[in-house]
Chains A and B, each alone.
Chain A
């Protein structure tokens, strides 16, 4: 049981490039989340998915898109990366009362 996994662990992009961050969970959870973590700001919710086939915006959705491919996988896409998107990105999934987090993807946009 791997829990929540994320790929890649690290990524460097140039401004304007695109990429997709992958997340998968093997706990059969319905709800999944994408957060970004910036110094002094805690974690902020980008998008979430309450169930397969549904997605909703969180606090900071601009510049991102998501896909809930199936129950296991929830991907985050940056279509045209900007330096302001330099951050650490965490995926999470949820049981009835608790969220479990992946190890994070550290993204730098030059």
Chain B
């Protein structure tokens, strides 16, 4: 079945880069997503990548996709305290419009 896995926690110093990793199982996924959730809030779409791309950069965010290994990563450059949140990876299920979410990675940024 479909499964999306992420590590649960990541702690980084302010100003360093953060790398959040995700593995997925559905090789027919069309899109892969990164969402951010701040405490008590809903999910905010950060970025997404089409499955035929290897990399996408958007300001401080870089998404890398290794389709062979079904591995997705999100790099946040110059991490700030405002980046502290839970980050969810999600894959689209084949040709459907349903998403499968990972369990989320809690990023803690310390000064």
* B99: Cβ under 8 A from any A Cβ: yes
Assess whether A42 is in contact with B42, with CB atoms less than 8 Å apart. Answer: no
Complex CA gap A97/B40 in Å reads 26
| Cβ proximity bits A21-62 to B, threshold 8 Å, 1 near / 0 not | 000000000010101000011111100101000000010000
Assess whether B88 is in contact with A97, with CB atoms less than 8 Å apart. Answer: no
Closest to B92 in A: A97
Pick the contact of B42: A31, A48, A50, A103 (CB < 8 A).
A103
Assess whether B48 is in contact with A103, with CB atoms less than 8 Å apart. Answer: no
Residues from chain A with Cβ under 8 Å of B35 in the complex:
101
Interface of A is mostly: strand
| Cβ proximity bits B70-111 to A, threshold 8 Å, 1 near / 0 not | 000000000000000000100000000111011110000000
- Total interface residues on B, CB under 8 Å, equals 20
Chain A contact patch, size range:
20 to 34
Residues from chain B with Cβ under 8 Å of A35 in the complex:
101
Closest approach, in angstroms, between the C-beta of A19 and any C-beta of chain B?
20
Q: Can you list 7 residue pairs at the A/B interface with Cβ under 8 Å? A: A31-B97, A35-B101, A40-B8, A42-B4, A43-B43, A99-B45, A100-B45
B residues contacting A by CB (< 8 A) are 4, 8, 30-31, 33, 35, 41-45, 48, 88, 97-99, 101-104
